[in-house]
């Protein structure tokens, strides 16, 4: 197999110099001594670059299937609820929401202090 064909086989992008270096040592490594070391080295690099995460609710909804009727309608309703949930979560996590809440609590406390309970 030609060296350029090997370079094109890589599914991820490497710098051309790194790819040529790897191909050169694979041509010299007749007994496969360096293969395991190289695989371990690539696994360590991939571990630092790649992370696996769970699908979010919208991704789970896209692949959801079942045997009951009106799947598209139920997906649309659930998608609306998911968007409402995301907007509410985003709103609650903003610093502005926290500041407004604290301001309302303090102003309510001051109004209760000023108000005469006897009448």
For the chain, what are the domain ranges? 3-49, 57-114
For tokens 């609306």, name the residue: 80
Q: Is 54 within 8 Å of 43 (Cβ atoms)?
A: no
CA distance 18 to 23: 9
CA distance 118 to 44: 73
CA distance 31 to 35: 9
Per-residue pLDDT reduced to its tens digit, 55-85: 889 899 988 898 889 999 999 999 999 999 9
Q: What is the DSSP string of 8-76?
A: HH-SS---HHHHHHHHHHHHH-SS-TTHHHHHHHHHHHHHHH-------HHHHHHT---SSS-HHHHHH
pTM of structure: 0.49
Per-residue pLDDT reduced to its tens digit, 25-57: 656 665 666 677 777 777 887 777 777 778 889
Beta-carbon neighbour count of residue 78 at 10 Å? Answer: 15
């Amino acid at each position: 197999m030609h060296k350029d064909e090997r370079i094109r086989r890589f599914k991820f992008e490497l710098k051309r110099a790194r790819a040529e270096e790897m191909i050169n040592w694979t041509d010299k490594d007749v007994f496969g001594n360096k293969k395991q070391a190289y695989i371990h080295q690539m696994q360590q690099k991939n571990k630092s670059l790649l992370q696996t995460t769970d699908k979010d609710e919208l991704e789970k909804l896209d692949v959801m299937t079942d045997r009951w009727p009106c799947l598209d309608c139920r997906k649309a309703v659930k998608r609306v609820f998911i968007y409402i949930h995301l907007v509410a979560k985003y709103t609650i996590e903003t610093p502005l929401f926290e500041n407004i809440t604290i301001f309302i609590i303090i102003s309510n406390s001051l109004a209760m202090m000023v108000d005469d309970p006897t009448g």
